């Protein structure tokens, strides 16, 4: 089979790469062409565009880059037609993927969505479009199956693929020594994967560093963001180590973490690290989003648990003073830490067991087999 996969973010690259890995086990002659990142390329996908070229965040940023976005959409359609895949697999990234899905459905391509857009958070009506344009929806959050039932859309829940990733992770016990981090306890900084969001949040994270002289602040470097970019912040009096491709090792060695809202908040929780969630967008994007978003929390940890497990510092609340106060609480209040970690264990139970990537691949494979059989039967009945 020929698979065309579109992922537009670092987390999508991770989960799509594991899906490719499992699909290859079921389809030894599989051919993959993709929009994504280095991890998908490592699994053998021919990379059309890297997600670094697609990283536009917020309403204002999207408007400014509309010309580039529309060029990418046109190019993607042409590339799909040239490749002529048996199936197109969309991985989150809704602003782009839902446009391609509508076109693909009308054009007659088979469509699978793996990792649903968060339509339950805002613009809920998009669920109707997904039902119309997607042949098979595979979801990873426990409440999503019930959500789509409201729209008469039967979807498949496979559990969260992060459990697969984290269950296979083995701590590098030489991490501290190899990175010159022996001695002081570590505070992990995860300011995001896009330059845009890093530039907004990292200065605030670094601004409280001098208040914690007994700790070493360490930045998790994002793939594709070079050290020179980070140094524009860290060389300004905040000499701060940066580690690349070792985020899980960094978190496993950390006493606490300051984490940008997104998948990283869930990864941090599943690794058992006390955290504070940080969000800061442009004022324009935030004010629009505030009026559209319907969910009570911004982090996946709190959304899945249905209550406040980790502190969220959002927009105007993300100040040096509030961030410092929360970090002091995480480091000094044992009862607060223990309660957070106990809730992390309940969170893991809610997400189901390992094997989400394998189950998703089996569903894609089964869907294609069924579709091919149906097409074969239809062909035979007309001859």
For residue 281, what pLDDT is reported? 80
Residue appearing with tokens 């039932």: 149
For residue 59, what pLDDT is reported? 55
Residue appearing with tokens 């697609």: 54
187 within 8 A of 255, measured Cβ to Cβ = yes
pTM for this prediction: 0.83
C-alpha dist (Å) from residue 54 to 8, 94, 118, 182, 283: 6, 12, 19, 38, 22
62-115 residue pLDDT tens: 666 667 788 999 999 999 999 999 999 999 999 899 999 999 999 999 999 999
215-226 residue pLDDT tens: 999 999 998 799
Residue appearing with tokens 């991770």: 14
For residue 291, what pLDDT is reported? 66
Low-confidence ranges of the chain (pLDDT < 50): none
Interatomic CA distance for residues 75 and 286, integer angstroms: 30
Token digits of residue 176: 């501290």
Cα–Cα nearest to 263, from 13, 2, 21: 13
Half-sphere exposure (Cβ direction) of 162: Cα atoms closer than 13 Å: 26
Interatomic CA distance for residues 298 and 202, integer angstroms: 19
C-alpha dist (Å) from residue 201 to 257, 263, 277, 319: 13, 16, 11, 10
Residue appearing with tokens 């046109």: 74
Q: What would the 3-class secondary structure string for 294-330 be? A: CCCCCCHHHHHHCCCCCEEEEHHHCCHHHHHHHHHHH
Token digits of residue 135: 């042949």
Half-sphere exposure (Cβ direction) of 140: Cα atoms closer than 13 Å: 28
Backbone phi and psi for residue 155, each to the nearest 5 degrees, phi listed first: -120, 165
Half-sphere exposure (Cβ direction) of 114: Cα atoms closer than 13 Å: 34
For residue 290, what pLDDT is reported? 67
Interatomic CA distance for residues 117 and 12, integer angstroms: 11
């Amino acid at each position: 089979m020929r698979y065309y996969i579109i992922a537009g973010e670092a987390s999508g690259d991770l989960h799509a790469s594991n899906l490719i890995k499992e699909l290859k086990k079921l389809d030894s002659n599989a051919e993959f062409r993709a929009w994504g990142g280095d991890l998908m390329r490592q699994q053998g996908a021919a990379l059309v565009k890297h997600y670094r070229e697609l990283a536009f965040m917020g309403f204002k940023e999207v408007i400014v880059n509309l010309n580039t976005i529309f060029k990418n959409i046109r190019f993607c359609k042409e590339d799909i037609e040239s490749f002529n895949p048996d199936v197109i697999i969309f991985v989150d990234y809704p602003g782009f993927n839902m446009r391609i899905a509508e076109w693909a459905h009308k054009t007659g391509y088979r469509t699978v969505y793996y990792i649903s857009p968060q339509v339950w958070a805002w613009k809920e009506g998009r669920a109707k479009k997904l039902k119309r344009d997607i042949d098979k929806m595979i979801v990873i959050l426990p409440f999503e199956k019930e959500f789509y039932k409201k729209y008469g859309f039967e979807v498949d829940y496979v559990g969260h693929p992060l459990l697969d990733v984290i269950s296979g992770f083995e701590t590098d016990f030489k991490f501290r020594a190899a990175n010159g981090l022996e001695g002081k306890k570590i505070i992990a900084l995860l300011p995001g994967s896009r330059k845009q969001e890093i530039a907004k949040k990292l200065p605030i994270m670094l601004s409280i560093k001098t208040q914690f002289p007994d700790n070493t602040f360490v930045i998790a470097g994002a793939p594709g963001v070079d050290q020179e970019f980070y140094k524009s912040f860290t060389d300004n009096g905040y000499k701060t180590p940066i580690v690349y491709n070792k985020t899980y090792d960094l978190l496993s060695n950390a006493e606490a973490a300051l984490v940008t809202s997104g998948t990283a908040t869930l990864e941090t929780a599943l690794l058992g690290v006390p955290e504070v969630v940080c969000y800061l967008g442009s004022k324009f994007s935030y004010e629009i989003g505030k009026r559209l978003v319907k969910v009570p929390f911004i982090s996946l940890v709190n959304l899945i648990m249905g209550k406040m497990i980790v502190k969220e510092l959002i927009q105007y609340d993300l100040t040096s003073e509030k961030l410092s106060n929360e970090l002091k609480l995480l480091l000094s209040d044992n009862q607060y830490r223990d309660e957070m970690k106990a809730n992390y264990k309940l969170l893991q139970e809610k997400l189901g067991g390992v094997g989400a990537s394998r189950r998703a691949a089996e569903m894609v494979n089964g869907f294609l087999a069924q579709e091919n059989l149906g097409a074969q039967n239809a062909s035979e009945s007309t001859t």
